[in-house]
Amino acid sequence: MLNYDFAFAVACSISMGDIQALQLKMPETQELDMLKDATVIDQQTFLKPKQWKLLLFVALNGFFLLLGLSVATLLTRYYYEKGGNSKWLAALVQTAAFPILLPLSHFPSFASTTTTTTTTTNSPSVAITSLVYVALGLLVAGDNMMYSYGLFYLPVSTYSIICGTELAFNTIFCFFINSQKLTALALNSVVLLTLSALLLAMHEDSSQPTEVSKVKLVVGFLCTLGASAAYAMLLCLLQLSFQKILRNDTFSVVLDMQIYTSAVASCACVVGLFASGEWRGLKAEMEGFGKGRVSYVMTLVCSAVAWQVSSVGVVGLIFTVSSFFSCVISALALPIIPIAAVIFFHDNMDGVKVVSMLMAAWGFATYLYQQYLDDSKQKSTRIDANEFSVISTSNSESE
Residues 295-334 pLDDT 10s: 999 999 999 999 999 988 887 787 777 777 787 777 777 6
Number of domains in the chain: 1
User: For residues 329 and 317, is the Cβ–Cβ distance under 8 A?
Assistant: yes
Q: Does residue 235 belong to any structural domain of this protein?
A: yes
Q: CA 335, 59, 241, 101 torsion: positive or negative? A: positive
Q: CA 344, 346, 350, 352 torsion: positive or negative? A: negative
Q: Does residue 118 belong to any structural domain of this protein?
A: no
Q: Does residue 188 belong to any structural domain of this protein?
A: yes
User: For residues 58 and 10, is the Cβ–Cβ distance under 8 A?
Assistant: yes
Q: Does residue 160 belong to any structural domain of this protein?
A: yes
pLDDT of residue 394: 59
CB burial class (10 A; 0-12, 13-18, 19+) of residue 397? exposed
Q: Would you write out the chain's pLDDT as a tens digit for each of its 399 residues?
A: 434 333 333 344 333 343 343 343 344 444 444 444 444 444 444 446 667 777 888 888 889 998 999 899 999 989 998 999 999 999 999 999 999 888 876 665 554 444 444 444 467 888 999 999 999 999 999 999 999 999 999 888 788 878 878 877 887 888 888 777 777 777 787 777 777 777 766 665 555 554 667 888 889 999 999 999 999 999 889 888 888 888 765 677 778 888 999 999 999 999 999 999 999 999 999 999 988 999 999 999 999 999 999 988 887 787 777 777 787 777 777 667 777 777 777 777 777 778 877 887 787 788 778 777 876 777 677 666 666 565 666 566 565
Tell me which residue range forms the domain holding 332. 4-112+123-393
Q: Give dist(CA 123, CA 77) in Å, integer.
A: 42
| Residues 131-142: tens digit of each pLDDT | 999 999 999 999
Q: Does residue 117 belong to any structural domain of this protein?
A: no
Q: Torsion angle of alpha carbons 230, 180, 258, 136, nearest 10°?
A: -40
pLDDT of residue 35: 42
Residue among 266, 162, 166 at smallest CA distance from 219: 162
Q: Does residue 398 belong to any structural domain of this protein?
A: no
Give the SS3 label for residue 348: coil
DSSP for residue 242 = I
CA distances (Å), origin 179, targets 166, 236, 239, 324: 18, 10, 12, 12
Q: Does residue 141 belong to any structural domain of this protein?
A: yes
User: For residues 63 and 16, is the Cβ–Cβ distance under 8 A?
Assistant: no
| Model pTM above 0.75 | no
Q: Does residue 74 belong to any structural domain of this protein?
A: yes
Give the SS3 label for residue 377: helix
Q: Give dist(CA 118, CA 137) in Å, integer.
A: 25
Buried/exposed code over 263-280 (b: 16+ C-beta within 10 A; e: otherwise): bbbbbbbbebbeeeebee
User: For residues 15 and 31, is the Cβ–Cβ distance under 8 A?
Assistant: no
Q: Give dist(CA 382, CA 68) in Å, integer.
A: 37
Alpha helices in 242-291 (DSSP H): 251-276, 282-287
Rg, the chain, Cα only: 24
Please report how the helices 30-81 and 156-163 are oriented relative to each other, as an axis angle in degrees rounded to 10. Answer: 140
